[in-house]
């Protein structure tokens, strides 16, 4: 159990004997629904000068992948560093229903329950560990983690959250920061109607062979490029703020997307079109991980690796409950052999798919082969191209390369050579020439499912029953505040609970990591919250 005292011990033992180097800041610039559709990734139709300059100044990762092809399960992984399949976080979504619920008329589908994802007790939101180590952590502004975040996660989270709000900003005494800026400009919803200037030549768009090449599809692709041009300007503005504050040379910048394009057979799918993201990392001059500017890195990177990587960059040893290896920093681990991914219910369409990818080959296990790939997802069909596909399926008017869209069922296994077949449309699972590759990837997938206690085909009430006793959301136990000789200790009986406390004048909850001595007469307030459970009541200690 990773309790607050253990966290304190962990932080103390992580400190080096010698005087440490000044802590590095980490800036995440994240965006929505974007595949590696940048000029620096080889797409000349993209107008991305700011992102291309960032790539020229840093390292461009060519094999970075989400664990789902949709945002909420990926955001669960990004904030906890663990797989959604181990916590009931796989269905899209869990804490609320689709905004297109009015289009769902089937009473069974309308009655799908909601719940909060509940990981095993040791799991924390990783910014909490940074805050306990002295970092100022901000999120601007999307959360969507599949659970209500504890108050200990962020110093501030909202549309005004910024590293500039940290105490002492602009002085040598300012705390190091971890800041997240999530830019919505390329989100799937921006394809529903034109929101950016139409600067992309629709005739110049290349529609991949797994999609029908129609005017509606070209328009959606072109809007993606139009929105991307606006996104690039937004990224440039953030980087300019960093430079204006004199923070360029002590800040690691990471740019990435939450999953692939918000286009058909991209978003929600386990193929590279849905999972692969751009990842650009720029290091300060003199940083030990900084190589030659403008280089590429072909290492397999998964979203489960991001949390340990930020901790490693901050000089904090990642705790044992994080399954992924850090790929940068003091505690960087060995490169992984495979990345893993999944697909579960997409509101309201049921589904269960698991996948594994090595440097070249992709394996897909369809646990519901009786279902079509293209289920009923009304939010998706708000885009003209997706709605057109639904119509083409009904009229049996799709081509042979679009079999994954038109099929009424699925093969149990799929295998693709992503080098020879980057669009993943030629299934090699039945080819005896690839039997050994199939066996290796099948075994790796099964081992991963077992290790992560994968809930597999459970959904709704069945899944809730595995997360919460008697299928009812528990409440975190009230913390116990103890005072002896002026030293205050706070404990909570609930395993895995984060503990926050406030002293007089505090606007933000502090992270409790070790006993402390408040000012004489100060009132101490405390709250506890295990992820997925209801938070405790606030308790007070009057001195």
125 catalytic residue (yes or no): no
Q: Is the pLDDT confidence value at 115 over 50?
A: yes
Q: Is the pLDDT confidence value at 1 over 70?
A: no
CA dist 261 to 32, 139, 223, 228, 518, Å?
A: 8, 23, 11, 11, 50
Separation of alpha carbons 94 and 98, rounded Å: 10
Q: Is the pLDDT confidence value at 11 over 70?
A: no
Q: Is the pLDDT confidence value at 361 over 70?
A: yes
Average pLDDT value for residue range 440-459: 94
pLDDT band at 40 (very low <50, low <70, confident <90, very high): very high
What pLDDT score was predicted for residue 20? 57
DSSP at 57? H
Average pLDDT value for residue range 47-68: 98
The residue from 71, 125, 137, 492 that is catalytic is 71
When the pLDDT of each residue in the chain is averaged and rounded to a whole number, the result is: 95
Angle formed at CA 50 by CA 137 and CA 48, multiple of 5 degrees: 120
pTM for the whole structure? 0.96
Residues 6+ apart with CB under 8 A from 487: 515, 516, 517
What pLDDT score was predicted for residue 456? 87
Q: Is the pLDDT confidence value at 428 over 70?
A: yes
Hey, what domains does the chain have and what are their CATH numbers? 23-85+124-334 (3.40.720.10), 343-471 (no CATH), 480-541 (2.60.40.10)
Separation of alpha carbons 25 and 322, rounded Å: 21
Of 277, 381, 280, nearest to 34 by C-alpha is 277
Contact present, 313 and 328 (Cβ < 8 Å): yes
pLDDT per residue as tens digits for the range 497-512 = 999 999 999 999 999 9
Q: How far is CA 236 from the centre of its chain?
A: 22
């Amino acid at each position: 159990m990773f309790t607050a005292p253990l966290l304190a011990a962990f932080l103390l033992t992580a400190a080096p004997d010698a005087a440490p180097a000044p802590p590095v800041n980490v800036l995440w610039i994240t965006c929505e629904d974007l595949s590696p559709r940048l000029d620096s990734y080889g797409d000349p139709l993209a107008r991305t000068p700011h992102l291309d300059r960032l790539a020229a100044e840093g390292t461009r990762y060519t094999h970075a992948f989400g664990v789902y092809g949709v945002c909420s399960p990926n955001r669960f992984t990004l904030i906890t560093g663990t797989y959604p399949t181990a916590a009931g976080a796989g269905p899209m979504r869990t804490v609320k229903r689709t905004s297109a619920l009015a289009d769902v008329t089937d009473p069974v589908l309308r009655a799908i329950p909601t719940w909060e994802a509940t990981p095993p007790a040791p799991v924390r939101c990783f910014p909490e560990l940074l805050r306990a180590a002295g970092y100022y952590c901000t999120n601007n502004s999307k959360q969507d983690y599949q659970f209500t975040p504890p108050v200990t996660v962020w110093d501030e989270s909202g549309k005004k959250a910024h590293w500039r709000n940290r105490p002492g900003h602009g002085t040598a005494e300012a705390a190091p920061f971890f800041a997240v800026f999530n830019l919505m400009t390329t989100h799937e919803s921006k394809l529903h109607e034109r929101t950016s200037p139409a600067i992309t030549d629709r005739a110049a768009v290349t529609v991949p062979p797994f999609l029908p090449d129609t005017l509606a599809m070209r328009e959606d692709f072109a809007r993606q490029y139009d929105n991307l041009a606006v996104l690039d300007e937004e990224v440039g503005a953030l980087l300019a703020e960093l430079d204006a504050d004199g923070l360029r040379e002590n800040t690691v910048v990471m740019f990435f997307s939450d999953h692939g394009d918000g286009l058909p057979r991209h978003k929600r799918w386990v193929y590279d079109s849905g999972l692969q993201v751009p990842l650009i990392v720029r290091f300060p001059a003199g940083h030990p991980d900084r190589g030659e500017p403008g280089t590429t890195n072909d290492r397999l990177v998964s979203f489960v690796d991001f949390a340990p990587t930020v901790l490693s960059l901050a000089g904090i040893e990642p705790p044992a409950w994080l399954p992924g290896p850090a790929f940068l920093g003091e505690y960087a681990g060995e490169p992984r052999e495979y990345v893993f991914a999944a697909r579960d219910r997409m509101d309201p369409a049921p589904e269960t798919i698991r996948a594994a990818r090595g440097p070249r080959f992709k394996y897909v296990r369809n646990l519901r082969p009786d279902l079509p790939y293209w289920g009923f997802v009304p939010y998706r069909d708000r885009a003209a191209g997706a709605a057109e596909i639904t119509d083409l399926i009904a009229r049996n008017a799709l081509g042979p390369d679009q079999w994954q869209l038109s099929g009424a069922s699925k093969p149990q296994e799929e295998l693709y050579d992503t080098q020879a077949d980057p669009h993943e449309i030629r299934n090699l699972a039945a080819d005896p020439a690839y039997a050994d590759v199939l066996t290796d990837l099948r075994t790796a997938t099964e081992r991963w499912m077992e290790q992560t206690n994968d809930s597999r085909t459970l959904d709704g009430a069945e899944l809730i029953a595995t997360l919460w006793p008697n299928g009812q959301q528990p409440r975190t136990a009230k913390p116990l505040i103890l005072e002896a000789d002026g030293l205050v200790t706070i404990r909570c009986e609930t395993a895995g609970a984060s503990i926050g406390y406030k002293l007089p004048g505090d606007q933000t909850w502090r992270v409790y990591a070790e006993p402390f001595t408040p000012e004489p007469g100060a009132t101490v307030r405390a709250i506890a919250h295990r992820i997925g459970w209801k938070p405790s009541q606030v308790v007070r200690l009057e001195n």
